[in-house]
Amino acid sequence: MIWSKMKPQLESFLAPALVGRVGYLSTSYRYTPDKNGQCCIVVDNKKIFNMKDGTTGMKWYQSEQDIKNDPAIMLPVSDDEIEQIRQETGGKVPEERLAVIASDRKLLAYAKQTMAAQAALSKSDFYKTANVFLSQPIEDSLASTDILLNCLALMDRRVGKKRIIDMEKSVKMKHPIVQYFYELRRSAK
């Protein structure tokens, strides 16, 4: 689908509280082949989610270690995960270390997912992801591991306030840009 048809469709799915505040921008440069243009989500006339651009206000991680060492990321560890490590180690690891090992494993998995998701953001990927968003059920977009699908779904009018509030715990385990759009939608009136 071409951009001139896709943009109005994306904007028609915006929640009523976000209409006028959120927009989609895509530019192309016909005569400069080394520049493929830009694609971004604009909130209150600021480029918030610019594909492959380090100048946005969002935190983009450079390595898995950055994610693991970020004090803002706190992933809850369940008793089942601790029990699994206890069984794997045969009970040879002290109790206080089991939670640390489980937390490190969870952070590593989160870091790998986040880095993979960040690597897949470009203008052409935006078009592909937007087409997927427009053609699939909203539940699939919300459950996806794709950052952009999550952002588009969180701003969708088909997602009600109650569902947004119920998603609070699951959103804490997602990329900071997804958390940003979650807070934007939650605070929108």
**Residue 103 in contact with residue 77, Cβ under 8 Å?**
yes
Tokens found for residue 167: 């998603």
Domain that includes residue 95, residue range: 64-110
Whether residues 48 and 139 share a domain: the answer is yes
Domain total in the chain: 2
**Residue 158 in contact with residue 18, Cβ under 8 Å?**
no
pLDDT tops 70 at residue 163: yes
Whether residues 181 and 98 share a domain: the answer is no
- For residue 116, tell me if it sits in a domain: no
Residue with more model confidence, 51 or 170 = 170
181 contacts: CB under 8 Å, gap ≥ 6? 49, 150, 151, 154, 155
In what side-by-side order are the strands of the sheet with 22-27? Answer: 22-27, 38-43, 46-50
- In this prediction, residue 61 has a pLDDT band, given cuts at 50, 70 and 90, of low
CA-nearest of 147, 143, 149 to 163 is 143
Rounded Cα–Cα distance for residues 178 and 141 (Å) = 12
Least confident of 36-40, 52-56, 127-131, 133-137: 52-56
**Residue 162 in contact with residue 37, Cβ under 8 Å?**
no
Rounded Cα–Cα distance for residues 69 and 59 (Å) = 14
User: Cα 161 vs. chain centroid, distance in angstroms?
Assistant: 19
Give the pTM. Answer: 0.66
Whether residues 182 and 130 share a domain: the answer is yes
pLDDT tops 90 at residue 123: no
- For residue 59, tell me if it sits in a domain: no
Whether residues 135 and 169 share a domain: the answer is yes
Whether residues 17 and 97 share a domain: the answer is no
Average pLDDT over residues 99-103: 88
